Amino acid sequence: MAVDIISPSSQPNRAAILVVLALGTFILGLSEFSMMPMLPLISEAFASTPSQSGYAISAYALGVVVGAPILMLATANMRKQKALLLFLSLMCIANSLSALASSLEQLVLFR
């Protein structure tokens, strides 16, 4: 029989944790999928074709495919809360730099 050594009063509020996780998932999805309807606007802003602007979407997908396993391996021995804050910081910095990009090449790089 397993014994729970953490008293119920010291456990974090599960509803609050679920809300934060749901909000984080929503923000990640929004940052990923909001680029598609904005392709014509990005093409106009950077004087490029919509297919060239689509590289920003591909860059995000490539970053996830390559970066996620590398980041998981790099933070395997790190506390979960610290790793989560690191990932959140990286996402905020990259999205902020994407918003401030002055060329399509910068946008693709920051994505």
pLDDT tens-digit profile of 53-96?
889 888 888 888 898 899 989 999 999 889 888 888 888 898 89
User: How far apart (Å, rounded) are the C-alpha atoms in residues 96 and 7?
Assistant: 41
Domain-located, residue 7: no
User: How far apart (Å, rounded) are the C-alpha atoms in residues 79 and 3?
Assistant: 23
Domain-located, residue 3: no
Domain-located, residue 104: yes
Stated as kind and residue range, the H or E segment containing 55 is: helix 55-74
Domain-located, residue 53: yes
Range of the domain at 106: 12-110
Domain-located, residue 4: no
What total number of domains does the chain contain? 1
Which has the closest alpha carbon to 55: 68, 67, 39, 69? 39
Domain-located, residue 82: yes
Q: Does pTM surpass 0.85?
A: no
Domain-located, residue 50: yes
